[in-house]
A and B are shown apart, each in its own frame.
Chain A
Amino acid sequence: GDSVTQMEGPVTLSEEAFLTINCTYTATGYPSLFWYVQYPGEGLQLLLKATKADDKGSNKGFEATYRKETTSFHLEKGSVQVSDSAVYFCALSVTGRRALTFGSGTRLQVQP
């Protein structure tokens, strides 16, 4: 079946540090890939997405590249801020199945 594996957290960084959150996937079809972010006490917000190999999704300084050869979709940001503290979820969807398959989430804590 389809699955998403994320690095376990929490990830603790100082402000302006470089961020990488790893995400790898297995899928029976050709998936689309997503990163969602959940701020404390809130629901999930779409951060970025990529729908085909070598696509790069980007938003708010975050980037992720769809790597089919390594089945990965790692999230990166060059300089994190305290306001980026949240839980980040990697997810995939495949044609014919409407549900998203989520990873377990990675908590990011950014210290001033």
Chain B
Amino acid sequence: ETGVTQTPRHLVMGMTNKKSLKCEQHLGHNAMYWYKQSAKKPLELMFVYNFKEQTENNSVPSRFSPECPNSSHLFLHLHTLQPEDSALYLCASSQASGGATETQYFGPGTRLLVL
């Protein structure tokens, strides 16, 4: 595997279900991100992890719970979601340098449908 991978690619869940999205990066990066892409809205940053520590939470509801056990893996745990949470969830990684020149590399995304 190369680059950034995400599983599953598609997920359908009920509002009472609990599921997890997985992201893995094979680029040796130390920063990882979750973004949400909804129809007709710009991409929204959800969480940022730098060296496994969460450094940014963009006012995300607690029904989304991120976990970063190491620099290569990132999870997004989902519980009691709402239909409006249906979206494409994108994971990204970068080599953290603190500067504006960092480039983020994205995975293919998980298409989530909440019924």
Contact = CB atoms under 8 A, between A and B. Distances in A.
Q: Which 7 A-B pairs have the closest CB atoms?
A: A44-B106, A43-B108, A32-B100, A99-B45, A102-B43, A43-B106, A95-B100
Contacts of A30: 100
B90 A34 contact: no
Interface of A: 29-32, 34, 36, 42-46, 49, 51, 89, 93-96, 98-100, 102-105
Contacts of A45: 106
A29 B109 CA distance: 30
B103 A42 contact: no
B27 to A, nearest CB: 12
Chain B interface residue bracket vs A:
20 to 34
B104 interface: yes
Contacts of B90: 43-44
29 contacts: A29-B100, A30-B100, A36-B106, A42-B109, A43-B4, A43-B107, A44-B43, A44-B106, A45-B106, A46-B104, A46-B105, A46-B106, A49-B103, A89-B43, A93-B100, A94-B100, A95-B98, A95-B100, A98-B50, A98-B55, A98-B102, A99-B33, A99-B45, A99-B56, A99-B58, A102-B42, A103-B42, A104-B42, A105-B42
A98 B46 CA distance: 12
Interface in B51-97: 55-56, 58, 90, 92, 94, 96
A87 to B, nearest CB: 10
Contacts of B106: 36, 43-46
B38 to A, nearest CB: 11
